[in-house]
Each structure stands twice: as structure tokens, then as C-alpha cells.
């Protein structure tokens, strides 16, 4: 009990640092301003690279500062920026569209047989995609390779995170959580659970994973072997997790947001 209180006190000291409070106030102010902008409409996704920001609206991708959407043959869903400034988005059919830095015309890349559930920029360049077809692909420019070995679980993957050194990917999906080496595709460990896992984030300097899903629990897992260290009840099904320092932010499928403080 004393250790829990000490960790809670440490978390509060991080949250109430002046620079963090300024970031919170600035974010709230900017969010209020953007939300009140006339004509912006419903935004389904945002990506940022340096000073450039792109957003997804009504199946089209726009760069902030331009009223014209980027050229794409079909409606788009997810999007992200890569380290080289390229922008990538997903068609509902499972294909990708890639725009090089500053370009308006994109290149369509066949990818998955079904909707893409995960699109994440890789540390050091490229991106990782996972689809309803159970495939996990690593992209280097327009070239792709399959990541998972034959002994990996054949399931749908819904979330991905990476080790701080960029060597290991952690994937969660239908009743499975795995760690796989990005260069070799070798499974480091795999863990079977009794629920669908929909989101995963790396925390504590790469020593821990925060994992959430349909069981309404935030699972804290050791990255070395996949063993669960702690489970914390959540109010609803967890849809996404983000970590910054000693603070984790989770969002539920009902758009409820919770702040978790610890170390």
C-alpha cells in the first residue's frame, strides 16, 4: 500500500510540473480553437510531421493550409506520416496510398485482402500494417515483406507498439499478444488470453506494455517474457492507449478518456 501511494505521489509530481501544465492548457486552448473553426467538419484522423499537419475528412486527406484534397482513387481511412516526410493512408479495400513529401499525386500500393486495422510508422523509417486478413507487413518505401513466421498465431491484429530501440514489435489482437523481432521476424514470446486485445503501448522505458481490450481491464505486462504483472479495472472497453513519460491516456469505444499516473 505504501509503495502504491509513493508511485501515485510521483505521478502527481510529474503531472503538476509547470511545463506539463502549460502543455495541457495550450492543448485545451488549441483544441477549442480548432473545434470552433467554421467549415472544418468531421475529422476522422490527424497526422503530424515537423510543421506539416494532415487530416482525414470524409474519406479524403488534406494538408493543413490547402483546401484541395490529396489525389487518391478511393475513400481512405487511417493515415500517418513516416520519418522521411512521406504520408500514408489506407483504403477500405486494404490497399495503401503513399504520397512522398510535398507531393499531391499518390501511389497506390496493393497490401491486404481486407481493411487495414493497424498503420504505424516504424522507428528509423518505413511503416507496419496489419489487416483483417491476419497479415502483418513491413514497408520500406514501396517495397514490402511479411513479418510473421509460420508459427505465429493466425489471427486478426488490432494494435501495435515498438521497443524504444526499434528492434521489437508488440502486436495484440484476437486473444493473443506477441513480441516479434522486426529484422528477422523471430517470435520472442507469445501469450494467449481470454479476450480480444485492441490496443497496446510501450511504457516505463520499454520495460512494460500497457494492453487493453474488450474485458474492460488495463493489463500491465513485462516486455521480457509477456507475463502479466498487474491488471487495473477500466470503465469500458479500451480502444486506444498513449503513453508520455509516467502518464498513460486511454480512450474507450464510447470516447471516454482516462488518465493513469504511475511509473
By the 10 Å C-beta count (0-12 exposed, 13-18 middle, 19+ buried), 189 is classed as: middle
pLDDT by residue for the chain (263 residues), tens only, comes to: 565 555 556 666 766 677 766 767 766 666 655 554 444 455 667 898 888 999 998 889 999 988 889 988 899 989 999 999 999 999 989 999 999 888 888 999 999 999 999 999 998 889 999 989 999 999 998 899 999 998 888 899 999 999 999 999 999 998 999 999 999 999 999 999 888 999 999 998 899 999 999 999 999 999 999 999 999 998 888 888 989 888 888 888 787 888 888 65
C-alpha–C-alpha distance, residues 177 and 175, integer Å: 7
Kindly report the pTM of this predicted structure. 0.80
Domain spans, the chain:
1-30, 47-146, 162-263
Q: Quote the pLDDT of residue 207.
A: 94
Which fold is adopted by the domain 47-146? N-terminal domain of TfIIb (2.20.25)
Q: Judge whether 47-146 and 162-263 match in fold.
A: no
Q: Which helix (H) or strand (E) holds 173?
A: strand 168-181
CATH class of domain segment(s) 162-263: mainly beta
CA–CA distance from 74 to each of 110, 136, 233, 255 (Å)? 13, 22, 40, 28
Q: Which residues pair with 220 in a beta bridge?
A: 210, 230
Contact 182, 166 (CB under 8 A): yes
Q: Quote the pLDDT of residue 245.
A: 81
Amino acid at each position: 500500500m505504501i509503495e502504491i501511494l509513493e508511485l501515485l505521489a510521483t505521478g502527481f509530481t510529474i503531472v503538476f510540473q509547470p511545463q506539463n501544465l502549460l502543455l495541457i492548457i495550450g492543448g485545451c486552448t488549441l483544441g477549442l480553437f480548432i473545434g470552433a473553426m467554421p467549415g472544418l467538419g468531421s475529422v476522422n484522423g490527424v497526422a503530424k510531421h515537423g510543421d506539416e499537419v494532415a487530416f482525414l475528412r470524409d474519406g479524403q486527406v488534406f494538408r493543413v493550409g490547402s483546401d484541395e484534397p490529396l489525389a487518391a482513387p478511393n475513400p481512405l481511412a487511417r493515415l500517418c506520416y513516416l520519418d522521411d516526410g512521406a504520408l500514408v493512408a489506407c483504403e477500405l479495400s486494404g490497399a495503401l496510398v503513399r504520397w512522398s513529401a510535398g507531393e499531391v499525386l499518390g501511389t497506390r500500393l496493393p497490401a491486404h485482402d481486407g481493411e487495414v486495422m493497424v498503420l504505424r510508422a516504424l522507428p528509423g523509417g518505413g511503416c507496419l500494417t496489419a489487416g483483417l486478413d491476419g497479415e502483418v507487413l513491413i514497408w520500406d518505401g514501396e517495397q514490402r515483406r511479411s513479418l510473421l513466421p509460420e508459427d505465429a498465431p493466425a489471427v486478426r491484429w488490432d494494435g501495435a507498439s515498438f521497443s524504444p530501440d526499434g528492434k521489437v514489435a508488440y502486436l495484440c489482437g484476437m486473444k493473443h499478444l506477441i513480441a516479434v523481432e522486426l529484422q528477422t521476424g523471430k517470435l520472442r514470446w507469445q501469450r494467449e488470453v481470454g479476450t480480444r486485445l485492441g490496443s497496446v503501448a510501450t511504457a516505463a522505458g520499454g520495460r512494460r506494455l500497457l494492453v487493453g481490450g474488450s474485458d474492460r481491464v488495463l493489463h500491465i505486462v513485462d516486455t521480457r517474457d509477456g507475463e502479466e504483472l498487474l491488471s487495473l479495472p477500466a470503465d469500458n472497453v479500451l480502444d486506444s492507449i498513449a503513453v508520455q513519460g509516467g502518464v498513460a491516456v486511454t480512450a474507450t469505444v464510447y470516447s471516454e478518456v482516462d488518465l493513469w499516473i504511475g511509473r
